[in-house]
């Protein structure tokens, strides 16, 4: 007589999606009615804070957000398969580790240098390069025979590195070119994080809708990503190219400028370390969240859990405009410090090897909500303390600092198998807590403006 082993399945409550989505939408829709300093309710004739500025800039920002959302969809399509794609290709643990190491090396060296290239060529040309890389990967992965080629991981790592800074640099330069107020730029930062999260959720639906049988040899999700990449290239080629040489002509060579405004400025170094800590923690989450949730042996539908994390990220980004400006209940540095500490504490509890799935899901949601708040906050501080012409190099430098420990952990954990998952999450939590302390130090330089930073 055979023995039947019953497996318990953990199911996410159906109320999680509508509650998180309703909170995010409420934060967005109610903001115009509470964003005035002298009135609890905005008059119907008052402009929305999302549409403040000249008409040409408003049109450009809407088109830009649409293009950025399409890029986020492509990013999501390329990453949605994850480890399952390696399994479909028949890769074992060591082969997966090799591909991940190759991708990390590409992000560490070529991705780290791509920021300098972006500053030299201009962000729009860097965006074209980004779309071209995505086009190549989309074409290669559209065919089953080329889907598992190692060059895909290499190119995709470089493209993802450029995605983290080229679009942000473009909107900042365009904002300065048209002479708009800083508040409209800060709104754009959190809207970018918000729409990125929405697009990543949408990419999962698009992939499920277009996914077809591998036997036909054509993978429609990747073909869709290639077509979107062509649209992105065509749009950017028609956009006017903003000049980036004005600042370089005043301060000399790029190397001297980078040394003076990044490496010798304590405020910018703090932002570099803070950005590196959040990028490293997000990467650690991507690698470890699934095995951490399934560590107690129960089954769980991971594709239904991950959208909750993205919606939590939407909620965090939608909360950003409520915590800066004249109406903010706390100083800007204090709000960001609290977000870092909350994210660090959430990962600290996970690193303590807590195995109740419901608690882990809540902690990961808290972590993503904090990340959604942190990303636009760091972009805001970069605008205050960093010359725009060095933004790509500074962000790629922080990305390299984040990828260096990832490379070491992949080697130690994949080949020698002597690196516990809890150790990596614990180090990520320590990095976030340390970054929170560093951000708190920025209060000493709160009176310094962006013009003071440029005159150093």
130-153 pLDDT, tens digit per residue, is 999 999 998 988 887 777 778 888
Note whether 271 and 212 are same-domain residues. no
pLDDT at 131: 94
Number of domains in the chain: 2
pLDDT interval class at 401 (50, 70, 90): very high
Q: Which residues contact 263 (CB under 8 A, 6 or more apart)?
A: 269
Same domain, 142 and 279: no
Kindly state whether residues 264 and 376 are assigned to the same domain.
Answer: yes
Q: Is residue 420 part of a domain?
A: yes
Angle at 270 between CA 269 and CA 271, to 5 degrees: 90
Confidence of residue 245 (pLDDT cuts 50, 70, 90): very low
Within this chain, do residues 233 and 267 fall inside the same structural domain, yes or no?
no
Q: Has residue 29 been placed in a domain?
A: no
Q: Same structural domain for residues 233 and 258?
A: no
Burial zone of 135 (CB within 10 Å; 0-12 exposed, 13-18 middle, 19+ buried)? buried
Taking a C-beta distance cutoff of 8 angstroms, is the pair 329, 323 a contact? Answer: yes
**Within-domain flag for 140:** yes
Domain boundary among 241, 259, 293: 241
Please indicate, yes or no, whether residues 340 and 213 belong to a single structural domain of this protein: no
Report which of 165, 68, 168, 72 is spatially closest to residue 112, judged by C-alpha positions: 165
Same domain, 193 and 72: yes
Is 12 a domain residue?
no
Instruction: Please identify, among 190, 206, 241, the residue that sits at the C-terminal boundary of a domain.
Output: 241
- Domain match, 287 and 430 both: yes
What is the pLDDT at residue 83? 59
Domain that holds residue 451: 251-456
pLDDT in tens, 269-296: 999 999 999 999 999 998 888 888 887 7
- pLDDT for residue 41 is more than 60: no
Establish if 35 belongs to a structural domain: no
At which residue do the structure tokens 């929305």 appear? 48
Residues 111-132 have pLDDT tens digits of: 878 888 888 888 889 999 999 9
Residues 201 and 262 occupy one common structural domain: no
CATH of the domain at 444: 1.20.1250.20
319 and 385, same domain (yes or no): yes
**pLDDT in the model for residue 450:** 42
14 domain-assigned:
no
Does residue 74 sit within a domain? yes
Q: How many residues does the chain have?
A: 456
335 with 438, same domain: the answer is yes
Q: What is the pLDDT of residue 291?
A: 83
pLDDT band at 107 (very low <50, low <70, confident <90, very high): confident
Q: Percentage of the chain surpassing pLDDT 70?
A: 81
Task: Note whether 354 and 217 are same-domain residues.
Answer: no
CA torsion angle 129 131 136 137 (round to 10): 120
Pick the last residue of a domain from 241, 275, 302: 241
């Amino acid at each position: 007589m055979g023995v039947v082993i019953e497996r318990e399945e953990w199911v996410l409550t159906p109320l999680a999606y509508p509650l998180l989505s309703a909170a995010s939408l409420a934060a967005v829709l109610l903001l115009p009615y509470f964003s005035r300093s002298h009135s609890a309710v905005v008059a119907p004739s008052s402009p929305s804070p999302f549409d403040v500025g000249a008409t040409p800039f408003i049109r450009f920002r809407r088109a830009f957000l649409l293009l950025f959302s399409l890029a986020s969809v492509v990013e999501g399509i390329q990453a949605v398969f994850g480890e399952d794609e390696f399994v479909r290709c028949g890769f074992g643990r060591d082969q997966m580790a090799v591909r991940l190491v190759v991708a990390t090396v590409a992000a560490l060296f070529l991705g780290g240098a791509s920021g300098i290239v972006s500053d030299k060529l201009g962000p729009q040309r860097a965006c074209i390069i980004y779309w071209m890389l995505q086009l190549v990967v989309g074409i290669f992965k559209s065919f089953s025979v080329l889907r598992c080629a190692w060059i895909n991981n290499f190119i995709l790592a470089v493209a993802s590195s450029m995605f983290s800074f080229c679009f942000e640099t473009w909107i900042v330069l365009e904002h300065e070119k048209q002479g708009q107020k800083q508040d409209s730029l800060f709104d754009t930062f959190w809207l970018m994080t918000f729409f990125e999260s929405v697009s990543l959720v949408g990419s999962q639906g698009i992939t499920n809708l277009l996914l077809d049988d591998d036997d036909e040899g054509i993978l429609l999700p990747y073909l869709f990503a290639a077509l979107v990449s062509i649209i992105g290239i065509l749009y950017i080629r028609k956009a006017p190219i903003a000049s980036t040489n004005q600042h370089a002509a005043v301060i000399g060579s790029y190397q001297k400028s980078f040394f003076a405004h990044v490496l010798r400025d304590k405020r910018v170094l703090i932002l570099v370390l803070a950005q590196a800590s959040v990028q490293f923690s997000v990467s650690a989450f991507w690698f470890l969240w699934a095995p951490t949730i399934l560590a107690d042996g129960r089954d769980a539908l991971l594709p239904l859990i991950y959208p909750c994390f993205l919606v939590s990220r939407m909620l965090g980004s939608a909360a950003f405009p409520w915590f800066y400006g004249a109406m903010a209940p706390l100083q800007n540095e204090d709000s960001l410090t609290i977000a870092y500490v909350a994210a660090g504490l959430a990962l600290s509890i996970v690193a303590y090897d807590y195995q109740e799935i419901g608690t882990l899901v809540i902690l990961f949601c808290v972590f993503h909500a904090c990340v959604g708040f942190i990303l636009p906050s760091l972009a805001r501080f970069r605008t205050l303390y960093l010359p725009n012409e060095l933004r790509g190099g500074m962000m790629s430098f922080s990305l390299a600092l984040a990828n260096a420990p990832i490379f070491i952990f992949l080697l130690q954990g994949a080949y020698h198998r002597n690196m516990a998952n809890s150790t990596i999450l614990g180090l990520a939590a320590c990095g976030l807590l340390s970054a929170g302390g560093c951000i708190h130090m920025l209060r000493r330089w709160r009176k310094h403006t962006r013009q003071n930073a440029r005159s150093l």
